[in-house]
Amino acid sequence: MEWVSDEVKVILFFKVSIYTLDMQLIDGSPQSIKSYLATLSPVDQVGAEARASMLATRSIKTTSKAWAIDCAISMIDLTTLEGSDTDGKVKAICNKAVRPDPTDPTVPHVGAICVYNDMVEVARKHLDSIGGKDIPVAAVSTGFPSGRASREVKKQDTLDALNAGATEIDMVIDRGAFLSGNLEKVFSEIVYIKELCGDRAHLKVILETGELVTLDNVRKASFLAMAAGADFIKTSTGKISPAATPPVVLVMLEAVRDFYAMTGVRIGVKPAGGIRNTKDAIKQLVLVNETAGPEWLTPKLFRIGASALLNDLLMQRMKLRDGHYQGPNYVTLD
Amino acid sequence: MTFEYAPAPESTSIVNISDEYGLFINGKFVAPKNGKTFTTINPATEAVLAKIAYAEAADVDKAVAAARVAYVKVWSKISPQERGKYLFRIARIMQERSREFAVLESLDNGKPIRESRDVDVPLAANHFFYHAGWADKLKFAGVGDNPKPLGVAGQIIPWNFPLLMLAWKVAPALAAGNTVVLKPAETTPLTALLFAQVCQQAGLPAGVVNIITGDGKTGSLLVNHPDINKIAFTGSTAVGKGIARAVAGSKKSVTLELGGKAANIVFEDAPIDETIEGIVNGIFFNQGHVCCAGSRLLVQENIHEEILEKLKHRMSQIRVGDPLDKNTDLGAINSASQLARIKSLSDAGDEEGAQRWSPECALPSKGFWFPPTIFTGVTQAHRIAREEIFGPVLSVITFRTPQEAIEKANNTPYGLSAGIWTDKGSRILWTAKHLKAGVIWANTFNKFDPASPFGGYKESGWGREGGRHGLSAYLKGGN
Amino acid sequence: MTRIDVKKTYKLYIGGAFPRSESGRTYEINDSNGEFIANPAQASRKDLRDAVLAARTSLPGWSGATAFNRGQILYRVAEMMESRSGQFIDEICALEGVTKTVAKKQIEESIDTWVWYSGWCDKISAIAGSTNPVSGPFYNFTTPESMGVIGVFAAQKPSLLGLVQALAPVLAGGNTAVVVTSQKFPLPAISLSEVLATSDVPGGVVNILTGKTNELAPWMASHMDVDGLDISGLSKDVETQTRIEGTENLKRIHRFPDGNSPQRILAFMEDKTVWHPVGI
């Protein structure tokens, strides 16, 4: 707990104690975390994969497909996280976010824009200037993507984003700490960043499931993040493969469902990475619908971190509207 | 927001159902001697699908004679490798025509297209592929250096997995060098008759496979036919006992795959979400028309409530309806008489004081339907805990210790299958060792494979099907 | 004055004890010259019932013992028989009217049969079991396990060898047995029970009934707690009826040719197949 100021400890205690109706109190100590996680049921990988692939056979056609496409568009965290990002690039995706299909005003805007913290201000200002005031800007934080930085750096990283107008913080967990068993470090870091976010921003906690490897770890990390105050749990940075595979998302959706049953609090889920086409996106929505439940089918509780996906959704949308297949020159490349 | 799935029906244009089907004897479709027919219907709509020939004594004689001639003159003469190549051909043609088989199976049986497409048909083709390779390797099958076929096999199969059960019977019989007379179930003859066309396309010598359609009387004529060397039957324990009595003292060898009342045992440390899936798959797969269905859920008492809550939640997502809809999870009950049996046993559950629960679900007005159902407060003494319901009805029973779970699980005349759910390896092996059942699924359920022997202890039958063990049932000197 | 022999009272062997028949009945056994030898018990259906219960009760212990342990115990039976071979030779000579050489050969073969099956106990599942390469992320194996309580109608003659050839494979597979001896030549079977009682075979694992074969056959065949029958010693004229009665609980019923074979063990074993996912 050396990371946590006394002030934060009090808040942590308060925050956590609302979750203690049906479970043990987590005071951040190794013992409390251990006993909290010990109550979790294990995950059988083969069974979870079988369930995910069964749900992948759902055939979503006609009106339900149209609905799902618009739903998916509204859930996209339109993302650019490149070393080569520039003001121009960020402005371009902001335009796309507000009006994904310039020829069709019935297309909903996306869920958010997701950028590095130095691009937050550009994005915020541009969105505000083009009618995208209600599109939040999310910033990746805490030494994204590896998380290998000092607490001070992580703090500054987060504060920079907040001060520039980010209303969503996508932090990464310290996977090294998680895998070495230092769960209290992972926990207290989330608590710390959550405290920095305060009322200013929602906190998405990136588990980087590709590095946690096992579904047992995914479930454990999900519960750890939720107990520490995550508003969202997010699969991946997009820099590691595999990323948002259906079994991983399934297990995270089960986790938020179970956490809701325990605490009455609904935590969001954000798969990111590897969701490139409409089919994949609809599979994700089916997973949500039949796992966490239809209550999660809102951008408030489900986001898809993606970039190329949006154009495929738009092409499929045009196909449904016009009755013929689309070509990439009929959607905008940004 | 609600996410409604629009109807996604599989097209039926791929199948071409004739108005009328003859008997497949000696490589050709022939009319039954007395010209009698019966109809087969789509259980989801009650619409008539086709008129089917009804085989009587003269027809059975003719089929058995054709099989005998084919055995003596052709099938026992050709080299084992060539024999195997015919089976490979059949497997390939079944793969090529798999969608056609799947649609036809769902039409005739009522099972969801997702299951016929993803389970029944691929497994059936795999069975032929697997056994094809055995044909020229029989001396390594563990029944001596020079194993011999039995001769003509009479095979009677049920309606729950019409094509798959055909494959389970025909593939090992042919691989071992026998010829067959197969009788599909009265309510589900169509995929067997399509299989007859596959035999023709494969150029299988006439008479090696003969398919006669009819009811229990036709089956009985086959069982009692003096020129049959082997009877293989899958169906109810009552009928199986009748067959055993009928052939007692004769030289016919017999394999029986009969009923079950499997315990699906859930320990407190089970992987809960996968366990729930396993419970659902265990009892609602194929509308519960599965001899090895996990129809008795034995739950450790300390997680009983959590399991029930999650199970009910999961059951409320089961999509009941049109078997041809790709999103259907639970299709139609196969026949009016089976529906009546399910209803009557469920009513007995009510009368004996168990609590019935089903999720809200709208059932179609035409056809035969039963909602996914669980009974709680069930004890070992209830009829629904002892008798095979063969429908989507689960009886939930609690236990306190592993020993008690074993006692309850084994406390049945059946012994076909069982399930174990726990994260603890040593407990899996301990439980598996003590269960009196032929197939045990640990942390999974209702998995099948041609390489895996299947069959039961006690009143669940005689012998095994599948794998090396199943093959020996079609060879002299096998058990 | 010549000493008066102390003759043996031949009794049943049930649950490790030597009771008389509850019916109080005995029947007369003569030697090959028609001279009286003994009055063994004539077991009743209730004795059979008690024997089945004893066999069922002892089943968990015997089937749960390690295969290696069972092998040692069967070998111990061979040792004990060898040390008593004189007694068996006398009984066989008297009953079957064969020469001492022939009788000696029978006892030697019987002892060797025990030795042969003793060695099978911890090998049969390696020979008959399998790991099955299923398509999918599952580990799948099949292993033969004991079937349960097996009723044995031993060959009428050779009375000792026929019995041992039937009984040893049943025990090697981990089953317990209820044996109906040769009706005419039951004495070696009773002596065998004395051997069993003084080897390490737990009481109840083998139960031996003397009496009228055809009187006991229908009760054995219809008993719902008997899992299998070796009817090698049953006459053909009652075979069909026995098989029919055995269908009530689908007993596994087998008749074997003379001789020893692993198939005789496997006939009274059940193949159990276990699936488990392979994952991380």
Residue of chain C minimizing CA distance to A42: C280
Nearest to A253 by CA among A237, A233, A272: A233
Are B301 and B409 part of one and the same domain? Answer: yes
Q: How far is C241 from chain A (nearest CA, A)?
A: 49
Examine the domain organization and report whether B248 and B277 are in the same domain.
no
* pLDDT of B65 higher than 70: yes
How confident is the model over C169-216, as pLDDT tens digits?
999 999 999 999 999 999 999 999 999 999 999 999 999 999 999 999
- Residue B117 belongs to domain spanning: 20-258+458-474
Helix or strand (DSSP H, E) at C170: helix C159-172
* C248 close to A18: Cβ distance less than 8 angstroms: no
Is B291 found in the same domain as B219?
no
- Split into its structural domains, chain B has a count of 2
pTM summary value: 0.95
pLDDT of the residue at A28: 83
3-state secondary structure of A215: helix
B97 and B197, same domain (yes or no) = yes
Q: In the beta sheet, which residues pair with residue C273?
A: B439, C142
Q: Is B199 among the residues known to form the active site?
A: no
Please state, as a whole number, how many other Cβ atoms lie within 10 Å of the Cβ of residue B80.
Answer: 16
**Is B274 found in the same domain as B217?**
no
Q: Name chain A contacts of B273, Cβ cutoff 8 Å.
A: 41, 43, 47-48, 51, 251, 254
B479 within some domain: no
3-state secondary structure of C207: strand
- Specify burial of residue C261 (Cβ count, 10 A radius: 0-12, 13-18, 19+): middle
Contact B364, B322 (CB under 8 A): yes
> H or E element: which one contains B383?
helix B383-386
Q: How far is CA B318 from the centre of its chain?
A: 22
Which pLDDT tens digit goes with each residue over C214-254?
999 999 999 999 999 999 999 999 999 999 999 999 999 99
Dist CA A74 CA A76 (whole Å): 6
Q: Which residues of C touch B443 (CB under 8 A)?
A: 276-277
Catalytic: which of B10, B257, B459, B465?
Answer: B257
Beta bridge partners of A79: A114
Using the Cβ of A48 and the Cβ atoms of chain B, whether some distance falls under 8 Å is answered with: yes
For residue A27, the model assigns a pLDDT of 83
The CA distance from B4 to the nearest CA of chain A, in Å, is 6
Q: How many domains does chain A have?
A: 1
Domain of A105, in residue numbers: 6-321
**A-chain residues near C277 (CB < 8 A):** 44-47
- In this structure, the number of other CB atoms found within 10 A of the CB of residue B380 comes to 13
Dist. CA B128–CA B121, nearest whole Å: 11
Q: Is residue B325 part of a domain?
A: yes
Q: How confident is the model at residue C98, as a pLDDT?
A: 95
Question: Is A270 a residue of the active site?
Answer: yes
- Residue B195's CATH number: 3.40.605.10
Strand order in the sheet with C138-146: B355-357, B373-376, B393-399, B296-300, B263-266, B417-421, B439-442, C269-277, C138-146, C130-131
pLDDT bin (cut points 50, 70, 90) of residue C81 is very high
Percent of chain C with pLDDT over 90: 96
Those residues whose C-beta lies under 8 Å from the C-beta of residue C215, and which sit 6 or more positions away, are C45
**Catalytic residue, candidates B291, B292, B459, B465:** B291
Confidence at B143, pLDDT banded by 50, 70, 90: confident
For residue C268, pLDDT over 60 is answered with: yes
B119 inside 8 A of chain C by CB? no
Q: Do B298 and B251 belong together in one domain? A: no
Residue B201 has pLDDT above 90, yes or no: yes
In this structure, is residue B450 part of a structural domain?
no
Please tell me the predicted confidence (pLDDT) of residue C7: 87
As a whole number, mean pLDDT of residues B252-270 equals: 97
Is pLDDT above 50 for B306?
A: yes
Q: Can you give the pLDDT at residue C183?
A: 95
Q: Which chains touch C (3 or more CB pairs under 8 A)?
A: A, B
Residue A266 lies in a domain: yes
Catalytic (active site) residue A234: yes
pLDDT of amino acid A23: 46
Q: What is the CATH number of domain C29-277?
A: 3.40.605.10
Cα gap C18→C54, rounded to integer Å: 13
CA distances from B317 to A56, A294, B359 (A): 15, 11, 8
Q: Is A284 on the interface with B (CB under 8 A)?
A: no
Question: What CATH number corresponds to the domain at position B429?
Answer: 3.40.309.10
* B330 and B223 assigned to the same domain: no
Beta-carbon contacts of B87 under 8 Å, excluding residues fewer than 6 positions away, are: B128, B129, B131, B132, B135, B171, B174, B175
Contact residues on chain A for B278, CB-CB shorter than 8 A: 47
A48/B274 Cβ within 8 A: yes
Q: Is the separation of the CB atoms in A162 and A201 below 8 Å?
A: yes
Please provide the average confidence, as pLDDT, over all residues in chain B: 97
- Tell me the shortest Cα–Cα distance from C22 to chain B, in angstroms: 30
User: Residue B136 domain-assigned?
Assistant: yes
Pinpoint the alpha helices (H) of B120-215. 121-132, 162-175, 190-201
- B211 and B318 assigned to the same domain: no
Residue B159 has pLDDT above 90, yes or no: yes
Calculate mean pLDDT across residues C104-133: 97
H-helix segments, A243-334: 246-263, 278-290, 309-322
Question: Which residues lie closer than 8 Å to C155 by C-beta, 6 or more apart?
Answer: C161, C162, C163, C165, C166, C182, C232, C233, C258
Report ipTM for this prediction.
0.97
> Does A43 sit within 8 Å of B3, measured CB to CB?
no
Marked catalytic residue, from A96, A194, A220, A270? A270
pLDDT digits (tens, 9 = 90+) for B400-456: 999 999 999 999 999 999 999 999 999 999 999 999 999 999 999 999 999 999 999
The verdict on C275 touching B (C-beta cutoff 8 Å) is yes
Q: Mean per-residue pLDDT for C46-74?
A: 98
pLDDT > 70 in chain B, percent = 99
Is the domain of B49 the same as that of B176? Answer: yes
Nearest by Cα to B249 from C257, C156, C236: C236
Cβ distance of C137 and A47 shorter than 8 Å: no
- The helix (H) or strand (E) run that includes residue A112 is strand A112-115
Q: Nearest C-alpha of chain C: how many angstroms from A96?
A: 41
Q: How far is CA B65 from CA B22, B59, B180, in A?
A: 17, 10, 11
Residue B172 lies in a domain: yes
Tell whether the model's pLDDT for residue B26 goes beyond 80.
yes
Q: What is the pLDDT of residue A211?
A: 98
Within 10 Å of residue B298's Cβ, how many Cβ atoms? 24
Catalytic pick from A234, A280, A283, A312? A234
The 10 Å Cβ neighbour count of residue A291 is 24
| pLDDT value for B1 | 60
pLDDT of C7-30, one tens digit each? Answer: 888 999 999 999 999 999 999 999
Q: Are B447 and C136 in contact (CB < 8 Å)? A: yes
Residue with tokens 């008749």: C255
Compute mean pLDDT per 10 residues along chain A, 334 residues long, and list them.
Answer: 48 47 65 92 98 97 96 98 97 97 95 97 98 97 96 97 98 98 96 97 98 98 97 97 97 97 96 96 98 97 97 96 91 86
Determine, yes or no, domain membership for B4: no
Find the mean pLDDT for residues C31-56: 96
Nearest-angstrom CA–CA distance, A64 and A45 = 30
Q: Which of C205, C195, C191 is nearest to C14 (CA)?
A: C205
pLDDT digits (tens, 9 = 90+) for B89-116: 999 999 999 999 999 999 999 999 999 9
Q: Which residues of C touch A (CB under 8 A)?
A: 137-138, 277-280
Segment B368-381 mean pLDDT: 97
Chains adjacent to A (≥3 CB pairs closer than 8 angstroms) = B, C
Alpha-carbon span B16 to B50, nearest angstrom = 11
Question: B51 and B195 in one domain?
Answer: yes
For residue B5, tell me if it sits in a domain. Answer: no
Same domain, B272 and B165: no
CATH code (residue A61): 3.20.20.70
DSSP-assigned states of every residue in C217-258: HHHHHH-TT--EEE-TTS-HHHHHHHHHHHGGGT-EEE---S
Decide: helix, strand or coil at residue A260: helix
Contact residues, chain A, for B317 at CB < 8 Å:
290
Same domain (yes/no): B201, B219: yes
Could you list the beta-strand ranges (E) of A119-264: 137-141, 168-172, 202-206, 232-234
Q: How far is CA A264 from the centre of its chain?
A: 20
Among the options A170, A231, A280, A312, which is catalytic? Answer: A170
Shortest CA gap C269–chain B (Å): 10
Would you state the structure tokens that stand for residue B248, as one six-digit string? 């007692």
Domain boundaries, chain C: 29-277
CA C272 to chain A, closest CA, distance in angstroms equals 22
